[in-house]
Amino acid sequence: MEFELGEEHRLVQATVREWATSRLLPIAAEMDRTGRYPPELIRELGDLRLTGVFIPEAYGGGGMDTISYCIVIEEIARAEAALAAVLSVQNSLDCYPIFAFGTEAQRRRYLPELARGRKIGCYCLTEPTSGSDAASLRTTARDDGDHWVLDGTKIFVTNGVEAEILIVYARTEPGETGSRGISAFIAEKGDPGLSVGKIERKLGIHASSTCEIVLDECRLPKDRLLGERDRGFHIAMATLDGGRIGIAAQALGIARAAMEDAIGYARERRQFGRPIAEFQATQWKIADMATRIQAGRLLTYRAAWMRDQGRRHTREASMAKLFASETAMWAATQAVQIYGGYGYIQDYPVERHFRDAKITEIYEGTSEIQRMVIARHVLGAS
Amino acid sequence: MHVVVCVKQVPDTEAPIRIRPDGQGVDESGLTFVMNYYDEHAVEEAIRIKERAGGTVTLIAAGPARAAEALRAGLAMGADQAIHIQDPALDGLDHLALARVLTAAIASVPYDLVLCGKLATDDNAAVIGPALAEFLDLPQATAVTRLELGDGTATAHREVEGGVEVLEISLPAVVTVERNINEPRYPSLPGIMRAKRTPITVKTIADLGVDLGGSGAARVRLLGLAPPPARPPGRMLEGEPAEVVRELVRLLREEARVL
């Protein structure tokens, strides 16, 4: 058993940490305030291939493994969580399904631009009446000879405003309900009938966009079907297994940010004649944060390792995502508490970590859904 | 153009340094090591030369097993090959003897230009580059901020007191670089994977055919290391703003002598 990162993983960690510390951390508070990120950051990340970490070099990617992906997302989230969400969607929810389920022509058309960060991708699954119950989606795709015609509204689409390549799920068998008869499609910005709807204002991860994507008689050429017809739900779930590992890593980054900032503050802040880091009440909070973060990282790396081994990892991905996201929320809450009144003020970073952490318990499957998935695997099929 | 770059692995300048009880070195446990910052600029310059003019970039490092990480980092940036001189005898060498070892390693590969960082941040000696020039019998330019290569010659800019000195040197030559010569790139993921696949040639001092003599030819002996004196605690001035400012100005003028 190896509990140490290999040389190339340490080099990835050092590289991304240095990039994030010098390029991202100094503007993190401003990104949160303005709700934007400088677009050139995506180009820089693309030059390093962090926008396509596990896509083979032949398609313009980094050619690395899921462990590397976890390291990348954690280090980015440590500096600024919204850009980690952007990257996580790009890698897990766009690059991955196109690479894993796309035709050779689709891979060649879309992967180089996604993996090199020249175009942003998004993932359109959720609808106003279908969230956790993704299989109840109502968007339809009608066969119209040489085109598919999509109708429906997708919501909560991360990267939706900037996205030029969209993965869209729609029902191809109108008679079917539930997970059968759903197919995946690749849409492109500019496709007729495709538009950005309402742009959401969120509690946290302000710098990443979240919006509605409206499909109004949206016509897609026949070669935009991703994977087999009516097998889209399988693609959605397989994609989310990897996505959840990425969100676990993002949550670890936020938890680490909360802990590291709290440690810095606790050493400097003096009350009753000494730094508050000398009080046991503070020390125990920090000790619990460090322990939970370590446990979350081990769960996350193990899920990533199983994915790299080509083994089933649905349960492990859910466990990692559940534990890491609840750790992020808990650690951020403790960090605000350690800062006291200052923790509630926007001038200090833990207020941002507190708001950013919450989304990790919600998107790509709420904590309740993760527990459902885990229980199904532990108790046996229901 | 074949460029050789000498790189050194040093403790991260932000890492807290603890001196070993015997006073002959630093306690390495828990210490992070990185490529010397100046050397990163030398590697970057070499890769840019390769990208413009073709050729190869060879990295050379002398040091313990961990020094391979500095070589991997340089390979990941885009260098082609690396030589790691690993030998227990390295420990007792002074800078001049180390330069002899590096000279032999440089001489074992084709080169038109040897680049080094201006100095290493761990010992601030700035000896290796000039010593290599001496032993290789080459012209040198130190602390270079801009380097332009011509046909068999190079133009080197150096920042000197009150201006810029411009030198022309014939090639091959030894050039040590300043940090403002360029902005080193971050290694890309494919670069890191290529670095992982590139074998590092490991050589001992004997492999290089260097005979340092019985005493390891050390003409400088380390007597001891001591931490810098602790910084005195800051002083808080209290009172009405007007008197605090008056007092602050007085202290800055009379005690700190910065006004």
Q: Which CATH architecture has domain A122-231?
A: Beta Barrel (2.40)
> Is pLDDT of A36 > 90?
yes
Contact B193 A64 (CB under 8 A): yes
> Using CA atoms, how far apart are residues A44 and A16, in angstroms rounded to an integer?
11
Residues facing A142 on adjacent strands: A149
Given pLDDT bands bounded at 50, 70 and 90, which one contains residue B91? confident
Q: Residue A122 to residues A48, A210, A364, B21, B59: CA-CA distances in angstroms?
A: 20, 10, 13, 57, 42
CA distance B68 to chain A (A): 10
CB-nearest to A48 from B72, B73, B189 is B189
> Using CA atoms, how far apart are residues B213 and A247, in angstroms rounded to an integer?
60
Ranges in chain A annotated CATH 1.10.540.10: 7-120
Span A73-95, mean pLDDT?
98
Q: Find the length of chain A.
A: 382
Reported as a single tens digit per residue, the pLDDT across A281-317 is 999 999 999 999 999 999 999 999 999 999 999 999 9
Q: Residue B155 to residues A358, B5, B141: CA-CA distances in angstroms?
A: 57, 18, 9
Task: State ipTM.
Answer: 0.88
Reported as a single tens digit per residue, the pLDDT across A238-266 is 999 999 999 999 999 999 999 999 999 99
Reported as a single tens digit per residue, the pLDDT across A49-70 is 999 999 999 999 999 999 999 9
Given pLDDT bands bounded at 50, 70 and 90, which one contains residue A1? confident
Q: Would you call A364 a catalytic residue per the annotation?
A: yes
DSSP state of A231: B
> Is pLDDT of B25 > 70?
yes
Given pLDDT bands bounded at 50, 70 and 90, which one contains residue B217? low
Tokens encoding A164: 């030029």
Span A76-81, mean pLDDT?
98
CB-nearest to A62 from B189, B195, B196 is B189
Q: Is A5 on the interface with B (CB under 8 A)?
A: no
The one catalytic residue among A30, A200, A364, A368: A364
Residue in A4, A12, A15, A22 to test binding to B, most B beta-carbons within 10 Å: A15
Contact A18 B188 (CB under 8 A): no
Ranges assigned E (strand) in A172-282: 182-188, 194-199, 210-221, 225-226, 270-271, 274-275
Given pLDDT bands bounded at 50, 70 and 90, which one contains residue B214? low
Closest chain A residue to B197, measured at CA: A8
Fold of A7-120: Butyryl-Coa Dehydrogenase, subunit A; domain 1 (1.10.540)
**List of chain B residues whose C-beta atoms are within 8 Å of the C-beta of residue A57:** 190, 193
Superfamily of domain A233-379: Butyryl-CoA Dehydrogenase, subunit A, domain 3 (1.20.140.10)
Q: Any idea what the Cα angle at residue B179 is, between residues B173 and B181, rounded to 5°?
A: 60
> Is pLDDT of A40 > 60?
yes
Given pLDDT bands bounded at 50, 70 and 90, which one contains residue B220? confident
Q: In chain B, positions 36-75, which contact chain A (CB-CB < 8 Å)?
A: 68-69, 72-73
Ranges in chain A annotated CATH 1.20.140.10: 233-379
> Is pLDDT of A78 > 70?
yes
Residue B104 contacts residue B81 (beta carbons within 8 Å): no
Contact B69 A11 (CB under 8 A): yes
The overall average pLDDT reported for chain A is 96
Position A382 scores a pLDDT of 52
> Using CA atoms, how far apart are residues B62 and A84, in angstroms rounded to an integer?
38
Q: Is A87 on the interface with B (CB under 8 A)?
A: no
Given pLDDT bands bounded at 50, 70 and 90, which one contains residue B14? confident
**List of chain A residues whose C-beta atoms are within 8 Å of the C-beta of residue B187:** 11, 15, 48
> Using CA atoms, how far apart are residues A331 and A229, in angstroms rounded to an integer?
44
**List of chain A residues whose C-beta atoms are within 8 Å of the C-beta of residue B194:** none
Reported as a single tens digit per residue, the pLDDT across A92-140 is 999 999 999 999 999 999 999 999 999 999 999 999 999 999 999 999 9
Position B216 scores a pLDDT of 56
Position A372 scores a pLDDT of 96
**List of chain A residues whose C-beta atoms are within 8 Å of the C-beta of residue B195:** 8, 11
SS3 state of residue A188: strand
The correct answer on CATH 3.40.50.620 for the domain covering B2-203 is yes
Closest chain B residue to A51, measured at CA: B189
Position A304 scores a pLDDT of 97
Q: Is A12 on the interface with B (CB under 8 A)?
A: yes
Which residue, among A266, A243, A255, has the nearest Cα to A93 in the 3D structure?
A243
Q: Any idea what the Cα angle at residue A224 is, between residues A220 and A229, rounded to 5°?
A: 110
Span B32-59, mean pLDDT?
97
> Is pLDDT of A2 > 90?
no
For helices A367-379 and A314-339, the axis angle rounded to 10 degrees is 140
**List of chain A residues whose C-beta atoms are within 8 Å of the C-beta of residue B72:** 7-8, 11
CB-nearest to A15 from B69, B187, B190 is B187
> Is pLDDT of B215 > 70?
no
